[in-house]
Structure 1
Amino acid sequence: MALSPSVVPQESKEDNANCVETKPSQTASIASEDPLQNLCLASQEVLRKAQQSGRSRCRQCGGSRMFYCYTCCVPVGNVPTEQIPCVQLPLKIDIIKHPNETDGKSTAVHAKLLAPDSVNIYTYPCIPEYEGKDHEVVLVFPGPQSISIEDVSFHLQKRIESKGRNKADNLDVPPRKARRTTDEEGWGLHESTRQGPELKRVVFIDSTWSQTNQIASDERLRELLQVELRTRKTCFWRHQKGKPDTFLSTIEAIYYFLVDYHSAVQKEKYRGQYDNLLFFYSFMYRLIKNARGSGEKAKPQLLQ
């Protein structure tokens, strides 16, 4: 069963791929009404049509779904794949999903649908091998030892230099051979300083907040640098009661990390390159917001 057409957002049917320019004086009021207002999105007309026509079958498993199959990570029959944007990301994304996390309620699948070449989803206890890669992989998770995105390069550099010193101090290897080995492998102190640290992969945990510690404390993730998104606030319709509004949904965390990384680490002006990661999320947000605003009983499960 689908939400009735009366709750479909009344937006222009023209392609809205261009950013909406807003005067500074209007920014605060618009943001309070709709925090996703100024995204640079591909046309969502395909989602509006799919919402009006109702649930459709998954092309792979045959399950009845709305918009996409959260099991197979593909659009359903009434959502043409070619009309779904494909986002190119500067980093690889690994999502570790708790086995008790309900697939239909998770936003992790949005990332896989929209950036399939850069995103992988694993179900805990299955975790990729990160041993020896803690200088190029970070875990996004809040905690007493977590750092801000602005400090990522500094701390990765310290890890590279530490590895270089440890290799050079290996007394079982002749000094000349040790020096050649570290240079060849790119771990030499001067070489690493010249090249600078390079973040390659970011790990996210997809779980209710009460279940996250089990995954975050796993010995395979324990040595990774932890990064916290301290200034971003969620607008997730399933926000967990009693948790601060800085506890983001999975797709929000991925999106905001990339936006902040682009500006703070890559030192480039952000121009909406990753906004389409919120292609499904923003549409669902407005569906539910409009349903609640019209007095109808909003049921997020109808979007599954």
Structure 2
Amino acid sequence: MSSNKPSISRNELLDKLKVSSQVVLETAQKKGRSKCPKCNSSRMFYCYSCYVPVESVPHEDIPIVKLPVKIDIIKHPNETDGKSTAAHAKLLAHEDVTMYTYPSIPDYDKQVHEVVLVFPGPSAVSLKDGLQYLIQYNNQKKDIPIPDCKRPRLDTDKSESDDKTIKTAGENTNYLKKVIFIDSTWNQTNKIISDERLQGLVSVELTERKTSFWRHQKGSPDTYLSTIEAIYYFMVDYHMQILEKDYNGEYDNLLFFFSFMYTLIRDAKKAAGKL
């Protein structure tokens, strides 16, 4: 899906974020690697296995982000933990984020009426239409089965009252209980996305944005986002399109680690003459 808004350069986007002070990360970076307080592994900034800051990064100096909807992240077993940004979400929004390593995932077939899967594809719809699917599903009489498909059909011939439901979607946020993100390279997603436990879920795609990830996969479009970017942009879209509120940086701290690490790598490349 394409956005009608003018594109923002990567640096300009990150520079405009309203993130908490990153002095704690600057200090830790100068000290070097430190121990994880849980597993004693040597890490920089945080432990990507235990999802906690290392000893040189005081827990109270790390921002806490409260999300408007719960998130499940499904990690591919071959995804390298230290290279993934999924840990950022668990660290910064730990009360609202649950991590799973495939194939150990919930049976989402039982939650089809309250869950959406963020994944682009031929059957993916916009966020607003995804919520409308859930509204239609939940408004159907319980004794009337949905024919031939677990996912309800989005009625394109909307009556005036149906159209009003979409326009006032901010009043129907209780229908969406959870959002699923897949954490893997694009070449690894097929096995997860075809799992029978995910079939029948509404797939939604984000408004198109360009990635700022420094480990962008070669040969892939720059609209392929890292996991934390996808979560961040979903929350921004949800805030503006579904909650129908002006966005004032409420979820910018989801990129607290991401923006700092981007700056470190960008400055290192400049110093080496690679930029």
Residue 151 in structure 1 maps to residue 153 in structure 2: no
Mean Cα deviation higher: 52-61 or 194-203: 194-203
Secondary structure of the structure 1 residue equivalent to 2:234: helix
1:235 corresponds to: 212
The ranges of structure 1 where at least 4 consecutive aligned residues each deviate by more than 3 angstroms after the TM superposition are 28-34, 193-197
Q: 1:132 maps to which residue?
A: 110
Tell me how far apart the structure 2 counterparts of residues 78 and 242 of structure 1 sit (CA, whole Å): 38
Identity %: 59
Are the counterparts in 2 of residues 97 and 205 from structure 1 also a CA contact under 8 Å?
A: yes
Report the residue type matching 1:167 in the other structure: D
Distance 1:108 1:32, change over 3 A: closer
Q: Select which of 7, 10, 13 maps to 1:35.
A: 13
Corresponding residue SS for 1:34 = helix
1:218 correspondence with 2:183 = no
1:267 equivalent in structure 2: 244
Q: Which residue of 1 aligns with 2:86?
A: 108
TM-score between both structures, scaled by the size of structure 1: 0.77
Alignment partner, residue 185 of structure 1: none
Which whole-Å CA distance do the structure 2 matches of 1:212 and 1:32 have between them?
26
* Matching residue within 262, 275, 278 for 2:255: 278
Q: Distance in 1 between matches of 2:10 and 2:84?
A: 25
Label 1:270 to 1:29 Cα distance change in 2 as closer, same or farther (>3 A): closer
CA distance in 1, matches of 2:108, 2:176: 13
Distance 2:82 2:90 in 1: 14
Could you say what secondary structure the match of 2:116 adopts? Answer: strand
Aligned residues of 1:230 and 1:246 also touching (Cα < 8 A): no
Match of 2:266 among 279, 289, 292: 289
TM-score norm. by structure 2 comes to: 0.84
Q: 2:143 maps to which residue?
A: 167
The one-letter code matched in structure 1 to 2:215 is R
Q: Distance in 2 between matches of 1:169 and 1:151?
A: 21
Amino acid at match of 1:272: G
Note the aligned Cα RMSD (angstroms): 2.3
- Is contact 1:229-1:246 (8 Å) kept? no
Partner of 2:227: 250
Equivalent in the alignment of 1:123: 101
User: What SS class does the counterpart of residue 30 from structure 2 fall into?
Assistant: helix
Which amino acid letter does the alignment assign opposite residue 214 of structure 1? K
SS state at 1:286 partner? helix
Q: AA paired with 2:30?
A: Q
How far off is 1:46 after superposition?
0.0
Does the C-alpha gap of structure 1 residues 158 and 114 become closer, same or farther in structure 2, counting only changes over 3 Å?
A: same
Q: Does 2:62 match 1:67? A: no
Aligned to 1:292, the other structure's residue is in SS state helix
> Does residue 77 of the first structure (1) align with residue 55 of the second (2)?
yes
Structure 1 portions without partners, runs of 5+? 1-27, 171-192, 299-304
* CA distances 1:23-82 after superposition (whole Å, capped 9, x unpaired): xxxxx8983543211111110000000001100011111111000011111100100000
- Matched residue, 2:150: none
Larger Rg: 1
Q: 2:73 aligns with which of 95, 102, 107?
A: 95
State the distance in 2 between where 1:169 and 1:128 align.
23
Matched with 1:187 is: none
- Residue aligned with 1:93, SS: strand
Counterparts in 2 of 1:33 and 1:41: CA distance versus 1, 3 Å: closer
Q: Which residue of 2 aligns with 1:301?
A: none
Contact 1:124 1:215 in 2 (8 A): yes
User: How far is the alpha carbon of 1:244 from its aligned partner?
Assistant: 1.1
Contact 2:109 2:199 in 1 (8 A): no
